[in-house]
């Protein structure tokens, strides 16, 4: 029997595994970097072991350090979670060699499926050889990676060499392996996967299907189970292929087999030899705890001959600290408040007041809804996200709500190109027009002993707020009966709650302020000074860091005096496991370059200056 589990991971997945361990009466051990010293997973575990440093390479990716932590803490098993070392055969072998239980597939199975090229060979498939015009478009992919790293779409033959070089560099940096391969790129295909669970007695379950087509940068955003609109024949084929892949490597534990589906044709993509981020939708549909099953299988228990029946539909949305309107730029800062209404499942690694740093993935939480039908589950999830309180850095919450209510999604007509087609519309600013007024009235409450009223006419009070890229000026007056604004009745106003009436419709606004940040219902505002600082300006053509991160590359041959084209990539920043291109804002001349590979930069740091040609 397993009595104590070390989770070789952090954040949401560590907290998720701990929850099941507590239910089973199993003691828990966390590992934490210096950046995670006060993180939720560190606080929730029965025991926690420090991994000195902050960078993943010296903490969560140091297998020897984690094995030592497990032995020092008296753990008898290791759960890898997902990401980091979860699909590292060498780490699995080191855990077993230390006499610990490995909660996952054998090192041999991990090795067999670790390379996408080897996995395809096991399935009787092969990547493209020499690429011709007839093969376009194609997808360049890292053989050893995932999560969108080392992946490029190529639509023109003359772009292939640059894409191969770029993908190799990113793959080598992210996974320590620069091998890439090329396969056909299926336009408007759907990303569909099958959850498998296998024991040591020869039983393999195929637990339905999941659709993960809504993706940004090849990373999933919204997932659901079962995948809508698949024929019974295609579903049976996907199940059979998934079981075949598992049996080909004598798989044990939880895993996922992924496909690209076009019409009624399925193309094998890869097998993930670990638990997936989106596993909760399968759990809710089948009524199973996949982590509990992982532990039982590791203890040698047998699965039932057949999986439990599926019931209803589940949808999951990933809440990220990122700005979709600014090329998905990750955001940092303090998460002041995170609260989601009841009726949905919340998996998170954060609580109120936690800091969001630059070292790790920017996912804050997963919100999952289950209902008898797909339409009911989608409506429930969209409503819960819309009513959620998320105070702190910019998030993708509004994008998630709009995506769930988009006609392509509600009609189950989505594919992997969904955000390529619709991102501009889904991120178009739509602030509540009365949010700035509510913020101003709440801010004014109590500032004057006499409520600001004067017995003679006076100039209106003026306050300015930024909502996204737009500035809003608010004007209101104090009267004998309280504040008033043109066309709006102020029924109530205090520091945290404002009630307004317009055209006979009454609306209530909940207001919270954290320094210059103001949250009004679902709208995030920034309080601006009454008179802007005339010195706070940069020269035209200045390029600044959109987020804190590390400069990983500068374009070959780029130097001060170089001629550049509009949109030309100049340098690349890495932050929160994602790579971000900094491009020229116009055709012209690079007059200044303040960045070099390996340099750490803060948000707003000046990176380069381009003097436009005109």
- Catalytic position from the list 10, 216, 274, 464: 274
Active site residue 274: yes
CB 302 within 8 A of CB 199: yes
Distance in angstroms (rounded) separating the CA atoms of residues 303 and 336: 43
In DSSP terms, 204 is beta-bridged to: 198
Structure tokens at 290: 């996949």
Q: Which of 124, 218, 132 is nearest to 167 (CA)?
A: 218
- Per the DSSP assignment, residues forming a β-bridge with 152 are 140
Distance separating alpha carbons of residues 254 and 239, to the nearest angstrom: 15
Coil, strand or helix at 376: helix
> d(Cα 369, Cα 377) in Å, to the nearest integer?
6
The 8-class DSSP code of residue 301 comes to: P
- Alpha-carbon span 22 to 24, nearest angstrom: 5
Q: Which residues of 494-531 are buried (b: 16+ CB within 10 A; e: fewer)?
A: eeeebbbeeeeeeeebebbbeeebbbbbbbbbebeeee
* DSSP class of 167: H
Question: Diameter of the chain by CA atoms?
Answer: 88
CA distance 199 to 244: 15
Structure tokens at 141: 């992919």
Residues whose CB is less than 8 angstroms from the CB of residue 161 and which lie 6 or more positions away in sequence, other chains included: none
The total number of residues written for the chain in this structure: 614
What DSSP designation does 612 have? E
Active site residues: 274
């Amino acid at each position: 029997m397993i009595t104590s589990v070390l989770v070789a991971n952090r954040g949401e997945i560590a907290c998720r595994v701990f929850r099941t361990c507590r239910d089973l009466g199993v003691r828990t051990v966390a590992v934490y970097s210096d950046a995670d010293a006060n993180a939720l997973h560190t606080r929730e575990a029965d025991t926690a072991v420090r991994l000195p440093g902050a960078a993943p390479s010296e903490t969560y990716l140091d297998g020897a350090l984690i094995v030592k932590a497990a032995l020092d803490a008296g753990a008898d098993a290791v759960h890898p979670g997902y990401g980091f070392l979860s699909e590292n055969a060498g780490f699995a072998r080191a855990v077993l060699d230390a006499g610990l239980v490995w909660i996952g597939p054998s090192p041999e199975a991990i090795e067999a499926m670790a390379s996408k090229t080897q996995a395809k060979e096991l399935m009787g498939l092969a990547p493209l050889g020499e690429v011709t015009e007839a093969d376009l478009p194609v997808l360049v992919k890292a053989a050893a990676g995932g999560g969108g790293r080392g992946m490029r779409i190529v639509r023109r033959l003359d772009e292939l060499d640059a894409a191969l070089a770029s993908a190799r560099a990113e793959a080598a940096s992210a996974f320590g392996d620069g091998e890439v391969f090329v396969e056909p790129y299926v336009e408007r295909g759907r990303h569909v996967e099958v959850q498998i669970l296998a024991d040591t007695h020869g039983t393999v379950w195929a637990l339905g299907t999941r659709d993960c087509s809504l993706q940004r940068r090849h990373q999933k955003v919204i997932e659901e189970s079962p995948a809508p609109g698949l024929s019974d024949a295609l579903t049976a084929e996907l199940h059979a292929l998934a079981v075949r892949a598992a049996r080909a490597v004598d798989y044990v534990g939880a895993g996922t087999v992924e496909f690209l589906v076009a019409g009624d044709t399925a193309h094998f993509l890869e097998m993930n030899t670990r638990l997936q981020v989106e596993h909760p939708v399968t759990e809710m549909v089948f009524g199973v705890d996949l982590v509990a099953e992982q532990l039982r299988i590791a203890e040698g228990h047998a699965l039932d001959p057949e999986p439990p029946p599926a019931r209803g539909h589940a949808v999951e949305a990933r809440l990220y600290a990122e700005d979709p309107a600014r090329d998905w730029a990750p955001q940092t800062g303090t998460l002041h408040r995170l609260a989601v209404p009841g009726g949905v499942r919340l998996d998170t690694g954060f609580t109120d007041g936690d800091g969001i740093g630059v070292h790790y993935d920017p996912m804050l939480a997963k919100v999952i809804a289950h209902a008898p039908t797909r339409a009911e589950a989608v409506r429930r999830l969209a409503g819960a996200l819309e009513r959620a309180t998320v105070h702190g850095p910019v998030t993708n919450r509004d994008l998630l709500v709009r995506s769930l209510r988009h006609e392509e999604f509600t009609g189950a007509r989505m594919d992997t190109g969904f955000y390529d087609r619709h991102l501009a519309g889904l991120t178009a600013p739509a602030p509540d027009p009365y949010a700035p007024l509510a913020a101003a009235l709440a801010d004014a409450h109590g500032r004057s002993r006499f409520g600001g009223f004067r017995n003679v006419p006076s100039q209106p009070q003026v306050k300015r707020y930024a909502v996204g890229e737009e500035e809003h000026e608010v004007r209101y007056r104090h009267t004998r009966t309280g504040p008033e604004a043109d066309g709006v009745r102020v029924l109530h106003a205090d520091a945290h709650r404002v009630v307004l009436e317009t055209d006979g419709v009454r609306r209530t606004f909940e207001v919270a302020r954290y320094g210059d940040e103001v949250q009004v219902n679902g709208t995030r505002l920034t309080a601006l000074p009454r008179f802007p600082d005339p010195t706070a300006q940069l020269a035209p053509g200045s390029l600044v860091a959109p987020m804190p991160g590390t400069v990983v590359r500068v374009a070959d041959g780029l130097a001060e005096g170089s001629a550049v084209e509009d949109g030309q990539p100049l340098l690349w920043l890495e932050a929160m496991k994602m790579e971000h291109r900094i491009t020229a804002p116009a055709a012209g001349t690079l007059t200044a370059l303040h960045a070099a590979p390996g340099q750490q930069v803060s948000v707003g740091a000046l990176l380069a200056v381009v003097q436009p040609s005109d």
